[in-house]
Structure 1
Amino acid sequence: MMIGDAREFGEMIARARKALGITQRDLALAINSGERFIVDLEAGKPTAQLGKALAAAKAVGIRLDDVGNRRDRP
């Protein structure tokens, strides 16, 4: 799945978090962040810090592959 924008990324994080049965607060604690950051991230706020966003993705099991290594690229 290609992520087109911050909103889609946030929705992906929210779905994965809910599937794990953890709260936004739990996720924030897992990545040493504030709950407000998770709320903003899941809402698609485009100014979310990339490092924290990637940590949140990893914490809920989302793996972001390097698209530069994809074989199906033209």
Structure 2
Amino acid sequence: MIRSAAEFGARVREHRKKQGWTQTQLAERCGTGERFIVDLENGKPSCQLEKSLIAARTVGIDLGDLKTAAPPPATEADDDLGYLPRFS
């Protein structure tokens, strides 16, 4: 399970590199600018969701159907939702 923008960006970077693409090449395939890909891979939390999903699908990340995806078994660490960012 991806729990943060940083983890999501790292997953996109990993898959992009497996494809042998540069950030510029991925940006061209997604119809975005290179700066967006850089920010996405660096885990910028304010990246646009739609563009992020396009980039993930472009590099082959299967996001699945959120309505039918079974949630992973809860662990004690999940119960407190401590992994979620806190905004003050």
Do both proteins adopt the same fold according to a TM-score greater than 0.5, normalized to the shorter chain? yes
**Counterpart-to-counterpart distance in 2, 1:3 and 1:24:** 21
In 2 relative to 1, CA 20–67 (structure 1 residues): closer, same or farther, beyond 3 Å?
A: same
Larger radius of gyration: 2
In 2 relative to 1, CA 10–71 (structure 1 residues): closer, same or farther, beyond 3 Å?
A: closer
- Structure having the higher helix fraction is 1
- Specify the alignment match of 1:27 in structure 2: 26
In 2 relative to 1, CA 71–49 (structure 1 residues): closer, same or farther, beyond 3 Å?
A: closer
**Counterpart-to-counterpart distance in 1, 2:49 and 2:56:** 10
Q: Which amino acid aligns with 1:46?
A: P
Name stretches of at least 5 consecutive residues in structure 1 with no aligned partner.
none
Q: Which amino acid aligns with 1:60?
A: V
Query: Once the 2 structures are TM-superposed, how far is the Cα of residue 72 of structure 1 from its aligned partner?
Result: 5.7
Name stretches of at least 5 consecutive residues in structure 2 with no aligned partner.
74-88
In 2 relative to 1, CA 45–70 (structure 1 residues): closer, same or farther, beyond 3 Å?
A: same
- Measured on the aligned residues, the alpha-carbon RMSD in Å equals 1.6
Q: Percent identity?
A: 51
Please list, as runs of the form range in 1=range in 2, the aligned pairs for 1:1-74 lying within 5 A after superposition: 2-71=1-70
Q: Which amino acid aligns with 1:41?
A: L
TM-score, structure 2 normalization: 0.76
In 2 relative to 1, CA 55–69 (structure 1 residues): closer, same or farther, beyond 3 Å?
A: same
Aligned to 1:70, what secondary structure does the other structure show? coil
In 2 relative to 1, CA 5–62 (structure 1 residues): closer, same or farther, beyond 3 Å?
A: same
